[in-house]
Amino acid sequence: MTERTSTRSPELRSSSRDRRRVVFATVAGTTIEWYDFFLYATAAGLIFTKVYFEPAGAAAAPLLAFLTVGISFLFRPLGAFLAGHFGDRYGRRVVLMATLVLMGASTALIGLLPTFDSIGLTAPILLVLLRILQGISAGGEWGGAALLAVEHAPTNRRGIFGASPQIGTPLGLLLASGMLATMTLIAPGEAFLEWGWRVPFVLSVALIVIGYYIRRRVDESPVFSELAERKKEARAPIVELFRKHWRLVLLAALIPSASQAAGYMTTGGYIQRYASDPAGPIGLNPGEVLWVVTASAVSWLIVTLVGGWLSDKLGRRKTMLLGWLLLAAALLVLFPLVNTASTVGLFAGLTLVTVGLGMVIGPLSAHYTEIFPATVRFSGVSIAYALGAIVGGAFAPTIAQALVQATGSTGAVTVYLEAMVVVSIVATLLVRDRTGVNLGADMEDRVESPIHGINA
């Protein structure tokens, strides 16, 4: 390899055709993954409370259902460790194929799982085991998709390319909520609880086939190809990551914690249950709530793309700080709008929150990719994101449910979410903006430490 090649970003090797294929593949793959993941979370509050946990009682059943949503997050670091190790050793592409199949198979099996009335305690136990497999898959998926998109991107367009796997989040929510809402029309009332909810889960089999075909046609990341050519892959990437970069991992994990907590108010199913609980203060029709969530996901998708694009102009950190301020403002009015007990108020509250969320998660793929060195990048990105999901999103619905039950109002939930925003702002300020840095094997030889106040 010539000196000229080694001193420029290896993503410049990708052709326009390769890049278009990567964008399509990452959007399709992450959409399918998050569809499966959010389908469970939405069903937990609306369905699983009744068909798997109802014997626990009216107060405990929703808490148990939301705990099963959160428990999968505890296993996301395991998925991230496995995916990071194999992704840094053998490439991004092979890991993404494996995570897609694992997530889809787990989801389809949930759709076939008998209820508590049929097999007793075995039913919720199997449900939790399948949810754990979803968590392992999700832990490895995001990092690989983010790296594949950003490492193929032109240097000045990493933000918008990195937003492509990020829009899989709102697209997955849109698809999951839309499918469940459609089934409430096809199989209304008791039919929805008996069999209607199962259809979107079983359909995951078809999505696996589509996603697998799309991802097979994607080339390996040019950054990993350069590492392989120069034999610079880390032998033990996890060990190297924590030996040299443990501070960065911890700070990077805290950066998205507020977006995880706020986002999982809907993607974790809490808002859906709160707004549609017939015994609660709102009492909206579940189908209407699902359609509102579906509509708000469109706003989330658009603003995520805008956030990625804007980060190419302003830099990652400035764009994310703007997003945190918008999110903090939106969270102040979220529950007052939801508590108007109207679909218009619910839509307004959720849409305002998606504006802040989109501005934050849009630049995140590029930001993460640029702060971790190439040899441990898959491990660093995946583990930091998985840890952030635990800190922020894992038990956000459970915490919200417990706070409302303890205080009788949603004010405590707002305080909790605003505190998470403060944590994310501090972490964002402590990590340098490295927009446009060389992503290749020589990255750390030519740039300063990604953490303010820490020498390289």
What separation, in Å, do the N-terminal and C-terminal C-alpha atoms of the chain show? 27
pTM: 0.82
Cα–Cα distance for residue pair 111/195, rounded to 1 Å: 9
Cα–Cα distance for residue pair 342/319, rounded to 1 Å: 32
Local structure of 451: helix, strand or coil: strand
Looking at residue 280, its pLDDT comes to: 81
Cα–Cα distance for residue pair 281/293, rounded to 1 Å: 19
In a domain, 336, yes or no: yes
DSSP 236: S
Residue 71 is part of a domain; what is its CATH number?
1.20.1250.20
Residues in the chain: 456
Backbone phi and psi for residue 301, each to the nearest 5 degrees, phi listed first: -60, -50
Ranges of residues in the chain whose predicted pLDDT is under 70: 1-15, 91-92, 218-236, 441-449, 452-456
Query: What are the C-alpha distances in Å from 316 to residues 144, 174, 449, 455?
Result: 20, 26, 16, 21
Q: At what angle do helices 158-166 and 122-152 cross, to 10 degrees?
A: 160
Sequence letter at residue 144: G
User: Domain containing 382: what range?
Assistant: 12-220+242-446
Structure tokens at 74: 């505890």
Burial class (CB in 10 A: 0-12, 13-18, 19+), 456: exposed
Sequence letter at residue 216: R
In a domain, 451, yes or no: no
Query: What are the C-alpha distances in Å from 225 to residues 238, 366, 383?
Result: 20, 19, 22
The candidate with the shortest Cα–Cα distance to 7, out of 450, 441, 332, 447, is 441
In a domain, 83, yes or no: yes
In a domain, 267, yes or no: yes
SS (H, E, C) 206-229: HHHHHHHHHHHCCCCCHHHHHHHH
Local structure of 431: helix, strand or coil: strand
In the chain, the number of structural domains is 1
Looking at residue 456, its pLDDT comes to: 41
Looking at residue 103, its pLDDT comes to: 86
In a domain, 170, yes or no: yes
Question: Which tens digit of pLDDT belongs to each residue from 273-288?
Answer: 899 888 888 989 988 9
In a domain, 233, yes or no: no
The candidate with the shortest Cα–Cα distance to 46, out of 204, 276, 203, is 276
| Torsion angle (degrees, nearest 10) of CA 95, 96, 101, 103 | 100
C-alpha gyration radius of the chain = 21
Structure tokens at 82: 């496995």
Query: What are the C-alpha distances in Å from 281 to residues 331, 335, 376?
Result: 19, 12, 49
**Residue 157, H or E segment:** none
